Amino acid sequence: MSARGIYSNTSDNQWIVTSLNTQYIPIPFFGTRRVSQRLDYCFGEDDPLLYPQPYLPDRCHWSAIPRKPTDPNDARRKWWSMFGQEDFHEAASEVAGFGRWKEEALRCYRDDYLALEARVKEHCIARQKSQRTPNIVITVLHSQLESTLAFLRYTSLPFCRAQQLLRCFQRWYLELTAALDWCDVYRPFMEGQRKEPPPSSIERVGTFTVKPVDHQALYRAGIPVWQIRSIAEKGSIMSFRHVPFTMPEDLNIEKELLDNTRWIYEGASNMLTRAIAMENYLRDFCSPPDPFAAPATEPTTLDVANSSLPARPGKKPNGSRHEPYKKAHPASQPKQSETPRDKFAEISAPHSPPTPEFWIQALAGIDRTKKPDKGVVINSGYIFPDPGLFTSSDGDKLRRLVRTWLNFRIVLITRLMMRPACLASVAWYPKQWRLLLLTDSITHPSQPGSFMHNAKTQVNRMLDECLRDYGVRRRSDVATVEQYHFTWRGQRYPIGRLNDNDVLREIIWEIYELNFRTEFHALDNILRGGPRGTEPVGGPFALCPFGGL
């Protein structure tokens, strides 16, 4: 079919994706939509966990993926099962619907995961003894499995996103199991290095191929394989009669596209290219895009005098900028208007972490003579709040900043993992962060037309961008409930605990860490030449995994 997808219109006027052709794979839909996807969050015929795939030399281990057991009492079925709402613990924040899987639910994977970790270690030791490097597919899958598990345990997500992430974790586990079996069992037997045949206790998904030599090797190894004719051979087959085509209209199938449909893959029907596109999409769950690649949208409601903005105590509205890459010292330069703080300058405050001397020296050694082209737009904002906003405040203002940050912390972290990225997935201007953190009771009504009303409207728009497509909502009672409590590290505390310097230090240091990780990840993207494209295997993972938040 020439249409991008096939959509079935049911009797109640709801749309269901029934199948896909070979040229397009859509991005799953979130929240309440007229379009749904598979309940198991798999991708139909494109998913190697459920269906045999064409034999690809770069993905040969797919054929050795374990098949889903048919016995409902088989303990291995958990690797194909999905948790329900009862296994999901919703986090306390200003946004309802964010949470993570309960530890007791994830505990069922512990023994299998530890056993697989031991197999990976044995593989690496055996390769080192024979003076060979570990198989790159195994090391890559193992790295992604660890990163995904960290996200599952420590990151709050919308329920539908948590289900997809769990499916990714299951896929990486089953693929890694298959890769180890292929490298250590099946391939040595096919090459004559192993005499005893592979064990047949676990059924495999299998594959289909057009080459007899591949068919013979896979069959001898005990992997299910199907021999098919190539497209070139089909042209030589004689047709005795023509069969009329059945049009989609006769089957009540609609070919029209939805206006907002987005695609994981769009292009020629090349199996390897499609496989890489799907893998990149799944890996991006734990590897956010570069938030500094696009500028933040400068809101028109913020084009006001600086005196209208909440100012830091002890500083004039038009303070001077610190000299970069050196310890902070009294300003001696002429005053400038609206000059952002140098994010590389050391901040000396009771709640700021100590800055190592070698770090200051490393920053001072950067060649700052190179300037980007004039046409290049640079986003010099902060992906998370400027820590200086907290360390330069004290008393009630500091507690107000921290409380507001904790209320929105989950959704502000999750916005980096939105696919596709929203307008709020980039680094924000410092004054946008100040408006968010210093505007008390965002949901509380204010006088229309006032500065505070315009500021709240702008902040609400940015927060709505973070929430769209996920089926989550803002809490309506947060102004009265969260005013006297806050949640930190999964525990709910009275607001008075914010007087504890140790608690404040933990929260502020995490903001430092979040900013560092995202900037380090952005640097890694630049060093690798931009976001990953269609490379088969070989450096597809970030240098610093964005997990464990």
Residue 144: CB atoms within 10 Å = 25
65, 178 in Cβ contact below 8 A? yes
The secondary structure element, H or E, covering residue 101 is strand 98-101
The Cβ-side half-sphere exposure at 125, using a 13 Å CA radius, reads: 6
Distance of alpha carbon 259 from alpha carbon 326, whole angstroms: 52
For residue 89 the two structure tokens come to: 């613990």
For residue 232 the two structure tokens come to: 């070139």
Distance of CA 156 to the CA centre of its chain: 12
pLDDT value, residue 8:
41
Residue with tokens 């200051």: 360
Query: Over 478-535, what HEC string results?
Result: HHHHCCCEEEECCEEEEHHHHHCHHHHHHHHHHHHHHHHHHHHHHHHHHHCCCCCCCC
Return the SS3 of 98: strand
Does pTM top 0.85 for this prediction?
A: no
pLDDT value, residue 447:
77
Distance of alpha carbon 429 from alpha carbon 92, whole angstroms: 27
pLDDT value, residue 5:
40
* Domain edges within the chain: 5-235+255-286, 300-305+324-329+338-527
Q: Where are the beta strands (DSSP E) in 215-334?
A: 225-227, 253-254, 263-266
Distance of alpha carbon 74 from alpha carbon 68, whole angstroms: 10
Residue with tokens 């084009």: 303
The pLDDT profile of the chain, 549 residues, written as one tens digit per residue, is: 333 344 444 444 444 444 444 566 766 655 544 444 555 555 556 678 878 888 888 888 999 999 988 898 999 999 999 998 899 988 777 777 888 899 999 999 999 999 999 999 999 999 999 998 898 889 989 988 998 898 888 888 888 888 888 998 999 999 999 999 998 888 888 888 877 777 766 789 999 888 888 888 888 888 998 888 766 665 555 555 566 666 655 655 444 544 455 677 777 666 788 788 888 878 777 766 677 766 666 544 333 323 233 333 334 444 444 443 344 444 445 544 555 556 556 666 677 777 777 777 777 777 777 776 777 667 778 889 988 888 888 888 888 888 888 888 888 887 877 666 667 778 888 888 888 887 655 556 667 877 777 777 777 777 777 776 666 777 654 443 456 677 787 777 888 888 888 888 889 888 988 888 888 777 776 776 554 443 433 333 332 233 322
